Every structure is written in C-alpha cells, then in structure tokens.
Amino acid sequence: MRERLDCALFSTLCSQSWTKQYVGTHVGGRLHIAQPVAHIDAADPLSAPVLSQWAMPLRRFDVCLLALSEQNLAWARTTLLHARGAMHTPIFGLVLGLRARALNDLYALGMADFVREPLCLEELRMRIERWLDTRRYPAPDPHDPSPSAVMPLSETGSEYEPEPYRGSEAALCSNILERTGRELDAFAAASASRCANSHESFKAAKSQVIERFETAYIRAALGRHAGNIAMAARAAQKHRRAFWALMRKYDIDAAPYRVSAAHHLDSRSLNPGQAGKI
C-alpha cells in the first residue's frame, strides 16, 4: 500500500459548492487532494482543453479527479475528448446524479473509474490503490499470445528476449514509471540473458542491469515531479537522503527537470494572468 496518494481535482463553477470540501489532506495524511485550477467555467469554450493543457504537470499526481454532473456533462465529454492521447494520469470521475448511459459514454472517452457523491474518502483511496496496482501488475492471461506476455526464443534459439524490447532500451527507460511489472520482468530477463552470453562475470552483469534500472527510475521520477526531490523520493517510497545518494551515485541533477517543467507550463498556458482561472 502506498504511503500517500496525490489527487488533482478539476471542478467547474457549477460543481464548486459540493467539491470544495474535498480539497486538502484526508485519511490520516494518506490522501491529498489539490485543485490546480481555481475556477473553470464550463460555458466558456476556451476551458475545453484544460486537461490536455495540464497533462504534463498532472504527471506528478497519482490520479486526476473530474467533478461530473448533469450541469457540466457536455463540457466533460469535450474535455475528455481533447485529453485523449495527451493524458498519462488516470482520470477518476467524482459523480453527482449521472445515470449509467452517461457513465458509459465517459468510460468510452477515457475515464478510468468513478466514485459517487457523497464521497467516502476511504473508498476513494482504496479504488485508486486497486486501479493503480491492476495497471502496474496485470494478471497474466494464459491465452494472450502477445510478445509482452510470452518470451519467445531469439533467432539464435539460445536466449530468451521479448520482441518489443529489442533495440528499444531508451524507449523503455523514458517511460519506465508507466511500464507494468510484467514488462519490466521481461526486460530484466532479456538484459540478463544478453549479459550471460557475454564474457562478463555474474557480479558485473547484475551491476549493469541494476544501474540501468536505477538511473531510468530516478530520471523518470524527477521528470514526473518537476525536479522536486522530496516528492520524487516520497513517490518512490525511499528516504530523501537515500534518493539523493542515488542521484549523486549516477551524477543526476534535478535542475534540468525543473527548467523543463517551467518551460512547459509557460508554453502551454493560455495567456499571462489566466494561470488560476479558465
């Protein structure tokens, strides 16, 4: 179980009266709900791309909560449509009075799950936890013939290596936080197999695989949390000093990730003066 879950709440003006009570810290500090945008007017066409505009900053959150009701349903559909392909953070609906047909439409547009108002915060945390674990460690399907589920023999017939990862180590490392446990297991096995066929010792080969994973993970965590070392360490469930020690070990600097995040926010903002209002 994660020590802390961070949620970003997006609520339109028509939903503020029943959502503002949820902004803050709950469940003994294990659930944090922040509101990145203070005012969103569902009637304003410029507010439709709000999720896609915040896609990069939202990567530091575990989930995005979207307040949904009959009053902003049309806006929600448009917002989810804009966010397709841009969002890496799962979207949970915080639902007031919607029927099954509307919920099915929202699922089809990319909503991951939903909870109903009045909200039970313990249930919300549990549902987020289970959803994230399901995505990270999917149950293996014995009927799934895809290369990520099975590790086929290579052309030589002497080593096991999953097809998707041949020559794509950089691609895997760039989004390692989004990879499933099964994918990482397969990649680790493939890397170990390659090393075993070389003249390296077991100790040297193991060290190489660990170094690649740790470097990719630290860089991805810093990128997800905009260079904030404390938040990256907390998300990794490591002590801040231990996380910092790994950064020093691999000569990783957090500054470029802060600059990149600031530049992204500047380039994606609607215009100066609208940072907290859409």
Residues 132 and 169 in one domain: no
Section 8-34 average pLDDT: 95
Select the more confidently predicted residue: 172 or 106.
Answer: 106
Same structural domain, 127 and 9: yes
Looking at the structure, do residues 10 and 132 belong to the same domain, yes or no? yes
Q: Contact at 8 Å (CB) between 208 and 198?
A: no
CATH number of the domain residue 48 falls in: 3.40.50.2300
Residue 88 maps to a domain: yes
Given a cut of 60, whether residue 266 has pLDDT beyond it is no
174 and 121 together in one domain: no
Instruction: Reply yes or no on whether the pLDDT at 90 is more than 70.
Output: yes
Whole domain around residue 192: which residue ranges? Answer: 163-264
- Domain membership of residue 236 (yes or no) is yes
pLDDT at residue number 154: 36
In a shared domain, residues 46 and 98: yes
Confidence of residue 20 (pLDDT cuts 50, 70, 90): very high
Residue 168 has pLDDT above 50, yes or no: no
pLDDT given at position 201: 80
Decide if pLDDT at 150 tops 90.
no
pLDDT digit string, tens, across residues 30-58: 999 999 998 899 999 899 999 999 999 99
Same domain, 207 and 259: yes
The Cα 213–Cα 236 span in angstroms is 13
**Six-digit token pair at 26?**
């709950």
Q: Is residue 103 part of a domain?
A: yes
User: Highest mean pLDDT range out of 34-38, 132-136, 164-168, 221-225?
Assistant: 34-38
Looking at the domain assignment, is residue 146 inside a domain? no
In tens, the pLDDT along 192-238 reads 666 666 666 888 878 877 888 888 888 888 888 888 999 989 988 99
Whole-model pTM over 0.85: no
213 and 126 both lie in a single domain: no
Per-residue H/E/C for the chain:
CCCCEEEEEECEHHHHHHHHHHCEEEHHHCEEEECCCCEECCCCHHHCCHHHHCCCHHHHCCEEEEEEEHHHHHHHHHHHHHHCCCCCCCEEEEEECCCHHHHHHHHHCCCCEEEECCCCHHHHHHHHHHHHHHHHCCCCCCCCCCCCCCCCECCCCCCECCHHHCCCHHHHHHCHHHCCHHHHHHHHHHHHHHHHCCCCCHHHHHHHHHHHHHHHHHHHHHHHCCCCHHHHHHHCCCCHHHHHHHHHHCCCCCHHHHHHHHHHHHHHCCCCCCCCEC
Sheet containing 91-96, strands listed edge to edge, beginning at the edge strand earlier in sequence: 24-26, 31-34, 5-10, 63-69, 91-96, 113-116
Residue 270 included in any domain: no
| 17 and 124 co-located in one domain | yes
Structural domains in the chain (count): 2
In the chain, % of residues over pLDDT 70: 69
Query: pLDDT tens digits, residue range 97-121?
Result: 999 989 999 999 999 999 999 999 9
